[in-house]
Amino acid sequence: MTEATQPDAGAARAAVIELLGVLAYGEITAFERLAEDAKMAPSVDDKAALAAMAVAEFHHFERLRAHISSLGVDPAEAMAPFVTPLDEFHRHTAPADWLEGLVKAYVGDGIAADFYREVAQHLDPGSRTLVEEVLADTGHADFVVETVRAAIERDPRVAGRLALWGRRLMGEALSQAQRVAAERDALSAMLVGGLAVPGFDLAEIGRMFLRITEAHTERMAALGLAA
């Protein structure tokens, strides 16, 4: 690697902080959203299941916040650039009922997690491990899949509505991820492993979003829905 292409330490640090910031705000909003969605749960057991998911998200937030602080950065400042775009996303994708909330938790959050995993491949080992652990499935996906499939079995008409909802979530989530990739210079450079190069490789970004789309199709199939 020539001197001209050596990764810039400042840019690398900025990318790490940006990724940790968006993840931390994503986790705290996921906690809030799941706690709110639990109010729509049809049974106490369902409320408890969603509450457990919310608690897991909050623990992830605490770990991310602590890691950001350990880097000498104010977590609130790291999260600040992402407050408006993430809040807008959730306003545009507010679920109408219990089942839509579950699909959003599984499909919508899954798309975001896939995007962040792609970025994390270029982080330092410590930060990458933390991101992968925070994004790892905690076992709650099984509850969502079983609940949605049971609802479809009881009333097959539900499948069409939820499939449309899943496609809408896909569009909104990809638009959000593309905005993050395009607007945050350090993150976009990190995606293609070229932190010393301004902008980003459109071909590589395209391949990344193809992988995300394929993973979305698999999740929809797991739910018994057409992508």
Question: Residue 18: CB partners within 8 Å, gap ≥ 6?
Answer: 78, 81, 184, 186, 187
Q: What is the pLDDT of residue 186?
A: 67
Question: Token digits for 121?
Answer: 């491949």
Helix (H) or strand (E) run with residue 81 in it: helix 75-92
The whole-angstrom separation of Cα 38 and Cα 30 is 12
pTM for this predicted structure = 0.83
Q: Give, in degrees to the nearest 5, the angle at Cα 225 between 223 and 227.
A: 115
Domain containing 100 equals 3-223
Q: In the chain, how many domains are there?
A: 1
The CATH number of the domain holding residue 12 is 1.20.1260.10
Reading the chain (227 residues) residue by residue, the pLDDT tens digits are 444 444 567 777 888 898 899 999 999 999 999 999 998 999 999 999 999 999 999 999 999 999 999 999 999 999 998 898 889 889 989 999 999 999 999 998 888 888 888 878 777 888 889 988 888 876 678 899 999 999 999 999 999 999 999 999 998 887 877 777 666 766 666 655 544 434 445 676 778 788 988 999 999 999 999 86
Place of tokens 């945050």: 184
Place of tokens 């509505």: 161
Q: Give, in degrees to the nearest 5, the angle at Cα 53 between 172 and 64.
A: 75
154, 79 contact by CB (below 8 A): no
